Amino acid sequence: MREGLKDLLPIIKENYDLVIIARKPVTEMDLTQIKSSFNHVLNRAALLKNKRQLGVKEL
């Protein structure tokens, strides 16, 4: 999980404390799926500085 979040750290908005709780399915996910999951959750929470940096389509 730490590796999956490392690439996103530079584009997460500052001055927020995040609590990451892993659920059992994460043990069966590969790194790409973990990164995608983090991207999805952080995007929904509006905690990414710029969506386009991750190739996320604007709604």
What pLDDT shows up at residue 58? 46
Confidence class of residue 4 from pLDDT cuts 50, 70 and 90? confident
Return the DSSP state at 55.
T
Q: What is the pLDDT of residues 16-56, one digit of tens each?
A: 999 999 888 888 999 999 999 999 999 999 999 876 555 55
Phi, psi of 46 (to 5 degrees): 55, 40
Look at residue 13 and tell me whether its pLDDT is greater than 80: yes
Which pTM value belongs to this model? 0.73
CA dist., res. 48 & res. 10, Å (int): 9
What pLDDT shows up at residue 17? 93
CB-based contact 10:50 (threshold 8 Å): no
Domain locations in the chain as residue ranges? 2-51
